[in-house]
Amino acid sequence: MLRRLYDWVLNLSARPSAPWALGAVSFSESSFFPVPPDVMLVPMALARPERAWFYAALCTITSVAGGLAGYAIGALLYDSVGLWLFRVYGLESKAEEFRAAYAAWGHWIILLKGLTPIPYKLVTITSGFASYDLFWFTVLSLITRGARFGLIAAMIGRYGPQIRAIMDKHLTLIFVILVVIVIAGFASLKFLG
């Protein structure tokens, strides 16, 4: 099944609708969707390495736009939608700790957590309900998301054929490692403070 999904994304990259699908996933991941855009970005960039930087820029812009939607959820809908999302991720008890941390470390939280496997929607929603400065939220989101997706584009530009050969040969192992990293990201949130 994993191989079919990987092959499907590789084939999707040749379609005119591919950037729209990537943008939609990137936007929604920053506000409510659980799947990071990397699962589409990497295979699409591997299939069309000449478009890797375009895909990275698209992910950056749509991720920040989705982050603004997540910010709005936190600022306007935290008691309903935002709290529900924190419950889904088992982090409801950490919401107030995040809010307090923003008062002292807001810039660093956005910059660092935007690069990690911790779902970015948690950062965007928390930024909104903590009333973090919207201008700085946007600037820092552009920096951190641009760095994350730009790193992927740079690696594929430099090592694309080698990365694709490794992925083709060890797709299941890579998937398991990524799942473990994401779970570790969630676990680190539960043990903060």
Q: What is the pLDDT of residue 5?
A: 67
Q: What is the pLDDT of residue 192?
A: 45
Q: What is the pLDDT of residue 4?
A: 73
Q: Which of 190, 191, 185, 164 is nearest to 48 (CA)?
A: 164
**Secondary structure of 75-123 in the HEC alphabet?**
HHCHHHHHHHHHHHCCCHHHHHHHHHHHHHHHHHHHHHHCCCCCCHHHH
Buried-exposed string 85-113: b where 16+ CB fall within 10 A, e elsewhere: bbeebebeebbeebbebbeeebbebbbeb
Instruction: Give the list of residues 6+ apart from residue 91 with CB closer than 8 angstroms, or none.
Output: 122, 186, 189, 190
Q: In which element (H, E) is residue 193 found?
A: none
Q: What is the pLDDT of residue 193?
A: 42
What is the span of the domain harbouring residue 144? 2-190
Under 8 Å between Cβ of 71 and 124: yes
Q: What is the pLDDT of residue 39?
A: 81
pLDDT digits (tens, 9 = 90+) for 160-175: 888 878 877 877 787 7
Q: What is the pLDDT of residue 169?
A: 81
Which residues of the chain fall short of a pLDDT of 70? 1-3, 5-6, 8-10, 117, 181-193
Q: Residue 154 is encoded by which pair of tokens?
A: 């740079």
Q: In whole angstroms, what is the distance from residue 146 CA to residue 149 CA?
A: 5
Q: Helices 120-129 and 95-113: crossing angle, nearest 10°?
A: 120
pLDDT digits (tens, 9 = 90+) for 37-69: 888 898 889 888 899 999 999 999 999 999 999
Q: Residue 123 is encoded by which pair of tokens?
A: 């950062």
Structurally, how many domains does the chain consist of?
A: 1
Cα-based distances in Å from 32 to 27, 63, 165, 166: 9, 11, 33, 31
Q: In whole angstroms, what is the distance from residue 37 CA to residue 65 CA?
A: 14
How many C-beta atoms lie closer than 10 Å to residue 119's C-beta?
25
Q: What is the pLDDT of residue 6?
A: 64
